[in-house]
Chain A
Amino acid sequence: MAMILAVIGVLALFVGWAALPLLPSLLEWRRRTDVKPLRVVRGADVDIRHFATAFQAWIGGHLGEALAACGAGGGPIEGRFEDGTPYVVLPDDAPARVTVPPAGPISCPAVTVGAGRLGLPARALFPLEVYGGGDVEVGEGTVCRAVLSHGDLRLDRGCWSLRWLHARGTLAARESCALHGRASAERALRLAAGCRFERLNAPVVAFGEPAAGRGAPADGAALAPWTAKDVPGLVEDAAGRWLVRSGLEIPAHRLVTSDIVVTGELVVGEGTRIVGSLKSHGDLHLGSGVAVEGAVVSGRDLAIGTDCRIGGPVVAERDARVGAAAELGAAGRPTTVTVRCLEVETGTVTHGTVWAHGGGLVLPRAAEGKA
């Protein structure tokens, strides 16, 4: 009997010892602690205006009366929110309140709320939100955490925004501004050369002044058709799509009426028109004057030449450069540009959203840069 117990004991010890490393997994299985879905505030991710909308509602709920009093001709009102954060409500066109420390930048330690037009001084730091009931003018080199303008929002040279900007009208940033986070406008958004950005949204996003003599895309009827039989390395031609192994170079001034998927690099010659979408697993180059009615997707880098037109989404897994006078999306047909880093020359216009995850930079158009 003792022997049987000993054998059972040793076998049980073996099973127990072998199963011991599973204990944390078994306990997690029985008493789950890491099963909550990832915290995603859907509105915050999907709607670029999420913060602006929330801030607007919050201001209305907390400072509605103060805003009304100031708007009716009253003087500035100062106070603190429930959590102790100070605020100042200013009447129309009143100067923002700032403090001048013995060292470091002048700054405003309060949420600044303007009942009407609001001007922020130059070279100042606004670490808390700014609200303007009318137009908001931000002085040169000023850094703001976030600004909501009920009218137009204008940033002078070298301004920074740290979290978000939103204008009910137009948002215009002069040279060398840095728009961290989100910047959006209800009507139009214009960034001058040297501006840096991350996520933009407006019906019209203009980089520099729109090109005056924007060349119209070539008429398809004037172009020579480029058909499947012309495609080297064609693997499949089905469902309106060409699948091409390795790289592909489409000659200039051709008309292509198919979607194209290329496993290597894709080069489209100038003036060519694509009635469909393009996707490459390698780099993708569009020559000047290329028109793509659908989407452009690159698995690596993407180069878009001058005067190009792209109707659908523009996606690059890595970095992209957009030449001058290009147009991405169209009025009434907003699209999305999403890349890692983006360099875009002045004169280009996009419609909808531009998202440069690693940052974007507005460059003077090549000719200007040389000049």
Chain B
Amino acid sequence: MANARNLMLDAELPWADAATRQEVLRLRRRGWGGGDIPEHRALRVSPVQREKLVPAALLALALFVAYLLLLGPVARAWAGMLETWQGLMDIPGQVSLVRYDFYGLLEFDVPFLSFASGLPGSGAWWWGLLFTLALAFGSYAVPPVILPLRYVLRLLAFFQGGAQIFFGLWPQAFPYDGAGYVHGMLIAQLMLVALVPIVLGFTYYVLDFGVARKALLTVMTMLHMIVLVPLQYAAHAYVIHHLSLLYMPLMFFVFGLTVNVLVFVSFYSWGVSWHHPMRLEDRVWARRQGEAGGNGNGAAGVAAALLALLVAVAGTAGAADLPPLTRSVEAGASWGHYSNGYGDADGQFARFGLWREDRWAWRFEAGRSARFGDESLDGGLSYSHWFGKTSVTAGVSSGTGDYIAHRYRFDAAVSRPIAEVVTTLGYTRIQSKGDNRSDGLGLSLVRYLPHWILSAQGRCDWGQPGDTRSVSGGVGLAYVVWRRMSIGVGYDAGDVSYLLVGPGQALVDYHATGFNVGYSQWFGAHWGLNARLDYGETPFYNVRGAVLSLFREW
């Protein structure tokens, strides 16, 4: 009996050569007007591609492990955020970290927000009853056009009604206290975030989306939850502290894990609505019909105006038009040595770029660096948008550690070709981990010639405290064979000036120079290698360094 193989493709052609057979098979799908005839959307299925299963599983595992490794920073960040929200809402108490040991395999901290919570008094109970009745009967006043809201209100009334009965009859039997409840929920949430890559691995990674999109959706969901949870449970703590334990069941059942599951489902549903290879033909068809929108989630463009995090993927999701979407990843490491006993430096980094030529571009960077006895985990994000020939770029970066990384750095720049010279005017704000900050203006000029790139830049930074000023500049020259290789040299020189704040203030002001040589080599149409050597001199030390990275672009 025949099996699932396509019997038609076994038929023999009079021409044996593969090219003619391929052309004939292509003609099977060619329409009258010369375009391809797509298979109807109702008949298409998203194939589970076996070659993608292993990368998908590895991605899920990598994100899961990465999160476990970052449990410490996440717990500390939660503690910090809880402290902030607690202070803003005037919840008396303090935040501490409680250490847990997971069967000797993993030790992690979970914040403990201590605050007072009591049983409801008679007045609070009656107010609660009024609130419940208002919810229940108020639901009937909701107009039918927003019918679902009726059921939401009745659901709230149901849970609050249950609490009213319990606290009306057996208030002393209620076994929980507010602080313990919040702490327990934080443990649950910490684990829930860990499950995100696993659940998406089973439900989203099997779909035919690129690895970058899968990773992006997962990271976005996790980041959103990481920010949401302290805010959520600070709000719970406020309600329980001020309105009594009478409202804890409502908080738990309706505004607890339910909200986080809703968030997960929302991200998931958004992710599956992104443009998909299966829907490519629909977009082609829509364009041929002169239709706007349709067949894809066009919401992303508007979301862009509201939140940069969501915009990052909105650009990806809404990318239906030319020019094509391009992505790049780069991963590498750096080494350096400082003279005069200042020690060595090393770092590792990964960069991801996503852009449409002359439309918009996103750049993400994450890495680790160590020097001068300090270590930091760094992250940065920038976005560029083109308005005709003019582009505008904004970026932020930050890092952990004690002093080598900035608390934050903000960059904004406007770029435009003027007399065939790409002129960029930029502003930079740097806030150190200490009290120092600086505001700087920079100007860069780049001239592109066939195979040659000439560049020059200068900048001035004004620092506080101490009202310092640092002026620096540099020039560069590169020889480029487009997408084959490039080699370039650069020279920078300038002043570094800031006021060292401490028990005794001291003005630091010195001159620094630097040279660098860079080389890029493409090994194929999509990937290659970057290498760079640096040498710098200051009155305190000389530094020699090298950076090596691999990149892929597609």
> Are A176 and B2 closer than 8 Å at their CB atoms?
no
- Scoring B11, B262, B293 by chain A CB atoms within 10 A of each residue's CB, the highest score goes to B11
Q: Which of B88, B298, B307 contacts A6 (CB 8 A)?
A: B88
Given that A13-B231, A14-B235, A25-B270 are contacting pairs, would A176 and B11 also be in contact in the complex, using a CB cutoff of 8 Å?
yes
Looking at A90-98, A155-163, A249-257, A306-314, the stretch in contact with chain B turns out to be A155-163
> Are B15 and A104 closer than 8 Å at their CB atoms?
yes
> Are A143 and B266 closer than 8 Å at their CB atoms?
no
Given that A20-B224, A143-B13, A160-B11 are contacting pairs, would A104 and B20 also be in contact in the complex, using a CB cutoff of 8 Å?
yes
Closest to A105 in B: B15
Chain B: interface residue count, which band?
A: 35 or more
- A72-101 CB mask vs B (1 if < 8 Å, else 0) is 000000000001000000000000000000
- Complex Cα gap A39–B307 (Å): 35
> Are A21 and B263 closer than 8 Å at their CB atoms?
yes
Where the two chains meet, the residues of B that have a C-beta atom closer than 8 Å to any C-beta of A are 1-15, 17, 19-20, 24, 27-28, 30, 32-33, 40-42, 85, 88-90, 221, 224, 227-228, 231-232, 234-235, 238, 259, 262-263, 266-267, 269-270, 273, 285, 293-300, 302-303, 306-307, 310
Q: Which of A21, A158, A162 contacts B27 (CB 8 A)?
A: A162
> Are A23 and B303 closer than 8 Å at their CB atoms?
yes
Which positions 87-130 of chain A face chain B at CB distance < 8 Å? Answer: 104-105, 123, 125, 127, 129
> Are B297 and A343 closer than 8 Å at their CB atoms?
no
> Are A176 and B12 closer than 8 Å at their CB atoms?
yes
Q: Which of B7, B33, B221 contacts A196 (CB 8 A)?
A: B7
Besides the contacts A143-B13, A160-B24, what 12 more A-B pairs have beta carbons closer than 8 Å? A14-B232, A17-B228, A18-B262, A21-B224, A22-B262, A23-B303, A24-B299, A33-B295, A158-B12, A162-B24, A319-B4, A341-B4
- A344-371 CB mask vs B (1 if < 8 Å, else 0) is 0000000000001011110000000000
Residues of B within 8 A of A21 (CB): 221, 224, 262-263, 266-267, 270
> Are B299 and A341 closer than 8 Å at their CB atoms?
no
> Are A25 and B33 closer than 8 Å at their CB atoms?
no
> Are A27 and B3 closer than 8 Å at their CB atoms?
no
Residues of B within 8 A of A319 (CB): 1-4
Which positions 315-363 of chain A face chain B at CB distance < 8 Å? Answer: 318-321, 340-343, 356, 358-361
Across the A-B interface, the 6 shortest Cβ-Cβ residue pairs: A359-B7, A141-B14, A21-B266, A178-B11, A341-B2, A27-B299
> Are A24 and B228 closer than 8 Å at their CB atoms?
no
Q: Tell me whether A34 is interfacial, beta carbon within 8 Å.
A: yes
Q: Tell me whether A152 is interfacial, beta carbon within 8 Å.
A: no
Residues of B within 8 A of A40 (CB): 40, 42
Residues of B within 8 A of A158 (CB): 12-14
- Complex Cα gap A163–B28 (Å): 6
Secondary structure at the A interface, as helix, strand, loop or mixed, is mixed
- Complex Cα gap A336–B40 (Å): 22
Closest to B31 in A: A163
Residues of B within 8 A of A360 (CB): 2, 7
Closest to B9 in A: A359
Residues of A within 8 A of B295 (CB): 33-34, 36
Residues of A within 8 A of B293 (CB): 33
Secondary structure at the B interface, as helix, strand, loop or mixed, is helix
- Scoring B14, B40, B89, B302 by chain A CB atoms within 10 A of each residue's CB, the highest score goes to B14
Q: Tell me whether A224 is interfacial, beta carbon within 8 Å.
A: no
CB distance from A310 to the nearest CB of B (A): 17
- Scoring A3, A163, A198, A342 by chain B CB atoms within 10 A of each residue's CB, the highest score goes to A163
CB distance from A229 to the nearest CB of B (A): 34
Which positions 155-175 of chain A face chain B at CB distance < 8 Å? Answer: 158, 160, 162-163
- Complex Cα gap A105–B17 (Å): 10
Q: Tell me whether A38 is interfacial, beta carbon within 8 Å.
A: yes
Number of A-B contacts (CB under 8 A): 180
CB distance from B243 to the nearest CB of A (A): 12
- Complex Cα gap A142–B24 (Å): 11
CB distance from B404 to the nearest CB of A (A): 31
Q: Tell me whether A180 is interfacial, beta carbon within 8 Å.
A: yes
Q: Which of A3, A27, A160 contacts B13 (CB 8 A)?
A: A160
CB distance from A211 to the nearest CB of B (A): 21
Q: Tell me whether A301 is interfacial, beta carbon within 8 Å.
A: yes
> Are B15 and A18 closer than 8 Å at their CB atoms?
no
A-B contact pairs, 27 of them (CB 8 A): A7-B90, A10-B234, A10-B235, A11-B235, A14-B235, A20-B306, A20-B310, A21-B266, A23-B306, A23-B310, A25-B266, A26-B299, A27-B302, A28-B273, A33-B295, A33-B296, A39-B40, A104-B20, A123-B15, A127-B27, A127-B30, A160-B13, A180-B8, A319-B1, A321-B1, A341-B1, A359-B8
Residues of A within 8 A of B262 (CB): 18, 21-22
Residues of B within 8 A of A160 (CB): 11, 13, 24
> Are B28 and A162 closer than 8 Å at their CB atoms?
yes
Q: Tell me whether A202 is interfacial, beta carbon within 8 Å.
A: no
- Complex Cα gap A138–B11 (Å): 17
Q: Which of B30, B32, B231, B273 contacts A10 (CB 8 A)?
A: B231
Closest to B19 in A: A104
CB distance from A75 to the nearest CB of B (A): 27
- Complex Cα gap A198–B2 (Å): 14
Residues of B within 8 A of A214 (CB): none
> Are A28 and B297 closer than 8 Å at their CB atoms?
yes
Q: Tell me whether A303 is interfacial, beta carbon within 8 Å.
A: yes
Residues of B within 8 A of A143 (CB): 13-14, 24, 27
Residues of B within 8 A of A10 (CB): 85, 88-89, 231, 234-235, 238
Q: Which of B12, B17, B231, B300 contacts A24 (CB 8 A)?
A: B300
> Are A18 and B228 closer than 8 Å at their CB atoms?
yes
Q: Tell me whether A245 is interfacial, beta carbon within 8 Å.
A: no
Given that A21-B270, A196-B8, A341-B2 are contacting pairs, would A7 and B20 also be in contact in the complex, using a CB cutoff of 8 Å?
no
Closest to B292 in A: A33
Given that A25-B270, A178-B11, A361-B7 are contacting pairs, would A38 and B28 also be in contact in the complex, using a CB cutoff of 8 Å?
no
Residues of B within 8 A of A11 (CB): 235, 238
Q: Tell me whether A50 is interfacial, beta carbon within 8 Å.
A: no
- Complex Cα gap A34–B300 (Å): 13
- Complex Cα gap A31–B301 (Å): 12
> Are B2 and A342 closer than 8 Å at their CB atoms?
yes
CB distance from B42 to the nearest CB of A (A): 5
CB distance from B39 to the nearest CB of A (A): 12
CB distance from B213 to the nearest CB of A (A): 14
- Complex Cα gap A78–B41 (Å): 39
Given that A18-B263, A39-B285, A158-B14 are contacting pairs, would A358 and B7 also be in contact in the complex, using a CB cutoff of 8 Å?
yes
- Scoring B27, B41, B259, B267 by chain A CB atoms within 10 A of each residue's CB, the highest score goes to B27
Closest to B279 in A: A34
> Are B27 and A123 closer than 8 Å at their CB atoms?
no
- Complex Cα gap A7–B263 (Å): 23
> Are A25 and B7 closer than 8 Å at their CB atoms?
no
